[in-house]
């Protein structure tokens, strides 16, 4: 044992060597055995606060070193001596370390002068062979075998020792765009992707976090947490408003603990907690819709990957395949918000270092929480309970660590313990935030809202045709402006808006049966429809609602039928359309494969009876409002669509019964559809073959499609390019 061989004392021995600089001493005449290694040299140097004895080189030059630290001497001066057997010292050592029974043959002795120095006398522990000792200072159990080798086990990688034999859990906190990992290191997420917070490939489980933007496109926030367990296909989603889903099934979670797929779930006013165990590792995940906090109880040696283990490992933890946003990798750069006062926000965030939070500062370092708070609030406005979000994340981390912060701060900071937006469920393009009235509501995410805000509008352009018109306003934009959609109507007060519960769009419409006060003006082939959306006039002396008046003006033009002819080998045909407020392109393309990846090109030979796929697509239209319907398609031997002979392929949107090769897919479902048929030619006629199609644009809000524009497209097949014809 080291204590039997190396002595630091206050007494000088006769003939001792005095030294004042870093010195290497040869002790081969009295070698030291330190943890089963034999050393014949001692390297001694003075530091700013210690006298250090090392065995592999001077302290500070080699990180892989064995060293003993002594107290700081009064002066840079000490003595060295190798002593023979000393019975009084031998007795002193044996009384101090009961595990030492053999007698001392020699000793390496250093002496110096120390005044008013506190010296730790329990830095080393002697352990008898073939015994087990628990060390409460480090929460370590040490086993010393009969051959004097040892093993030790202690707290898990995500735990720390309290110095009294108790392993305390550490917490991973994810709030806003920030991640504070198990080691207390702070990281930032800058996009709208999904990330792995924790993963264990050996036991096949993951805890994922999805990020989305709110009021700014360039600042992302934690939006949901997903537990992906070993059971194949099982994903438990913790979402905004306290909603929990297993795959696509919404669960009714209460304050009573319920068990689903091995996961214990319960919900209170602060949020939802999920607890599960995998491979002797118990994980607890708390989520209130905006902040997630994860605790892990694991045996020593457990290893986890993910942002909770290393918050700076952004590139290796990103999971685009799990991201719900199609803008996952898109970077935005919004202008600075001139309402943000960074100095004020920094001062407010630093409150975590003051009372009553300071009572926890020694147990949970407030620094990463303060930095997370101020770095976010120096770029993003302090709205939607955001400042409270950072305060609560620190208080909960303290509570999980066993330290309860006095709740007097809540009233002063105006931070409720109830989760903000609890039980408020919004759509994917929305988030729950604070409205102008101060109440929570579903507001538009910045990316979704940008196209409306750029044009300073509250919805899509109106669409009119044949004494019928439709205009849709965006529900979350109305919420943001503090407009109650139920108070809105057209000029006729009975014509009110209808809220679509799936899209949260508010639709107003008129038709020939109820024109809702619409003015109809005709000028040649163009018909103009004029109306307005307004709110109910209050009869009270005062009102807290803005007076709303939105003019509606749209056009219905009767377009001439146009024919566009091209050979299949000419790739595709594009027809540019402008009608009233609509401006878009219709495209017809031919392909030789079912997946429509092999576009017919000048090198493609199209043979008789070869199956051809034709896609018709409208670009520049809102897919939520319009659908493309292919009504009729037919083949002729001449360019004119009215020529004979002809062969019908599609009638009234369906394949004709006389040609079993025709198949139609996606007709009327979106802004594109396609059909297939086997190539033909007319008997006795060896000239060109033309394909004609009549399309309609249909308004999806109507139960039956209402024609808006008729267009005739023509496709020409040239048989001379096919071998044998």
Question: What pLDDT is attached to residue 551?
Answer: 86
Question: What pLDDT is attached to residue 244?
Answer: 96
Residues 139/166, Cβ–Cβ less than 8 Å? yes
In SS3 terms, 64-89 reads as: CCCEEEECCCCCCCEEEEEECCCHHH
How many whole angstroms separate alpha carbon 515 and alpha carbon 496?
13
Whole-angstrom CA distances from 227 to 199, 209, 290, 396, 571 are 10, 9, 16, 21, 48
Residue of 725, 571, 713, 708 whose CA lies nearest to 634: 713
How many whole angstroms separate alpha carbon 31 and alpha carbon 535?
96
How many whole angstroms separate alpha carbon 601 and alpha carbon 567?
10
Q: Is the bond leading into 356 cis (omega within 30 degrees of zero)?
A: yes
Domains of the chain: 2-111 (no CATH), 167-322 (3.40.1000), 444-557 (2.60.40.3210), 568-721 (2.60.40.4100)
115: three-class secondary structure by DSSP? coil
In SS3 terms, 560-586 reads as: CCCCCCCEHHHCEEEEEEEECCEEEEE
Cβ atoms within 10 Å, residue 662: 18
Given 3-state DSSP classes, what are the helix, strand and coil percentages for the chain, each rounded to the nearest 5? 15, 40, 50
What residues in the chain have per-residue pLDDT under 70?
1-15, 35, 61-63, 116-125, 148-149, 156-160, 162, 166-169, 231-232, 298-302, 466, 525, 536-547, 556-583, 602-604, 686-688, 700-725
Q: Please state at what angle helix 342-349 crosses helix 386-400, rounded to 10 degrees.
A: 20
Burial 597-609 (b: 16+ CB within 10 A, else e): eeebeeebebeee
- Tell me the HSE value of 492 on the side-chain side, using a 13 A CA sphere: 13
- Tell me the HSE value of 376 on the side-chain side, using a 13 A CA sphere: 33
Question: What pLDDT is attached to residue 166?
Answer: 63
Residues 715/566, Cβ–Cβ less than 8 Å? yes
Task: Give, as one character, the DSSP assignment of residue 217.
Answer: T
Beta strands 107-111; 6-9: pairing state: parallel
The three-point CA angle 306-308-313 to 5° equals 50
Cβ atoms within 10 Å, residue 387: 20
Radius of gyration of the chain (CA): 39
Residues 713/693, Cβ–Cβ less than 8 Å? yes
Question: What pLDDT is attached to residue 722?
Answer: 26
Q: Supply φ then ψ for residue 682, to 5 degrees.
A: -85, 135
């Amino acid at each position: 044992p080291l204590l039997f061989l190396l002595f630091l004392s206050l007494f000088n021995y006769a003939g001792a060597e005095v030294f004042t600089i870093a010195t290497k001493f040869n002790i081969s005449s009295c070698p030291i055995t330190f943890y089963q290694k034999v050393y014949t040299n001692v390297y001694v140097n003075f530091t700013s606060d210690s006298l250090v004895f090392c065995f592999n080189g001077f302290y500070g030059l080699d990180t892989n070193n064995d060293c003993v630290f002594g107290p700081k001497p009064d002066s840079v001066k000490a003595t060295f001596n190798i002593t023979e057997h000393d019975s009084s010292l031998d007795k002193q050592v044996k009384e101090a370390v009961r595990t030492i029974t053999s007698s001392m043959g020699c000793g390496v002795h250093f002496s110096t002068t120390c005044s008013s120095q506190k010296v730790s006398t329990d830095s080393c522990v002697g352990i008898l062979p073939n015994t087990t000792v628990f060390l409460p200072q480090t929460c370590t159990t040490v086993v010393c075998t009969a051959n004097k080798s040892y093993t030790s086990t202690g707290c898990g990688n995500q735990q720390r020792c309290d110095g009294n034999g108790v392993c305390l859990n550490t917490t991973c906190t994810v709030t806003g765009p920030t991640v504070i990992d198990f080691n207390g290191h702070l990281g930032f997420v800058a996009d709208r992707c999904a990330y792995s917070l924790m993963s264990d490939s050996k036991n096949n489980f993951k805890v994922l976090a999805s990020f989305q933007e709110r009021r700014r496109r360039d600042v992302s926030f934690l939006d949901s947490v997903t537990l992906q367990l070993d059971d194949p296909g099982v994903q438990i989603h913790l979402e905004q408003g306290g909603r929990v889903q297993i795959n696509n099934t919404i669960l009714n979670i209460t304050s009573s603990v319920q068990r689903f797929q091995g996961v214990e779930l319960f919900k209170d006013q602060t949020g939802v907690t999920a607890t599960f165990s995998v491979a002797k590792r118990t994980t607890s995940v708390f989520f209130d819709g905006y902040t997630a906090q994860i605790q892990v109880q694991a045996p020593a040696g457990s290893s986890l990957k993910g942002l909770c283990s290393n918050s700076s490992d952004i590139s290796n933890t990103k999971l685009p395949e799990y991201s719900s946003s199609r803008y996952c990798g898109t970077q935005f750069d919004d202008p600075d918000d001139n309402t943000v006062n960074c100095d004020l926000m920094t001062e407010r965030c630093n409150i975590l270092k003051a009372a009553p939070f300071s009572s926890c500062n020694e147990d949970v370092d407030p620094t990463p929480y303060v930095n997370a708070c101020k770095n976010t609030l120096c770029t993003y406005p302090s709205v939607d309970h955001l400042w409270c979000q950072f305060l609560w994340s620190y208080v909960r981390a303290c509570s999980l660590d066993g330290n309860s912060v006095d709740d007097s701060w809540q009233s002063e900071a105006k931070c409720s313990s109830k989760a903000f937006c609890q039980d408020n469920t919004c759509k994917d393009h929305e988030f729950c935030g604070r409205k102008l009235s101060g109440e929570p509501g579903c507001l538009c995410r910045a990316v979704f809202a940008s196209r409306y805000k750029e044009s300073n509008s509250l919805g899509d352009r109106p669409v009119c045709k044949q004494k019928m018109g439709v205009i849709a306003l965006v529900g979350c934009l109305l919420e943001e402006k503090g407009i109650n959609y139920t108070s809105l109507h057209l000029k006729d007060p009975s014509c009110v808006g209808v809220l679509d519960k799936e899209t949260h769009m508010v639709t107003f419409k008129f038709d020939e049966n109820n024109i809702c006060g619409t003015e109809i003006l005709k000028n040649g082939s163009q018909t103009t429809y004029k109306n307005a959306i307004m709110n109910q006039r209050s009869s009270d002396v005062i009102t807290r609602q803005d007076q709303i008046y939105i003019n509606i003006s749209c056009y219905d033009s009767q377009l001439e039928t146009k024919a566009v002819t091209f050979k299949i080998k000419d790739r595709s045909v594009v027809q540019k359309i402008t009608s009233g407020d609509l401006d878009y392109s219709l495209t017809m393309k031919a392909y030789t494969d079912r997946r429509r990846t092999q576009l017919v090109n000048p090198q493609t030979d199209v043979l008789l009876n070869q199956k051809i796929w034709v896609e018709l697509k409208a670009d520049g239209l809102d897919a939520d409002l319009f659908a493309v319907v292919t009504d009729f398609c037919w083949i002729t031997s001449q360019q004119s669509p009215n020529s004979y002979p002809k062969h019908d392929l599609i009638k009234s949107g369906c394949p004709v019964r006389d040609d079993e090769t025709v198949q139609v897919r996606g007709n009327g479902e979106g802004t594109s559809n396609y059909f297939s048929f086997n190539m033909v030619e007319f008997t006795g006629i060896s000239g060109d073959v033309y394909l004609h199609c009549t399309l309609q644009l249909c308004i999806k809000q109507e139960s039956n499609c209402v024609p808006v524009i008729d267009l005739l497209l023509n496709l020409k097949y040239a048989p001379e390019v096919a071998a044998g014809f």
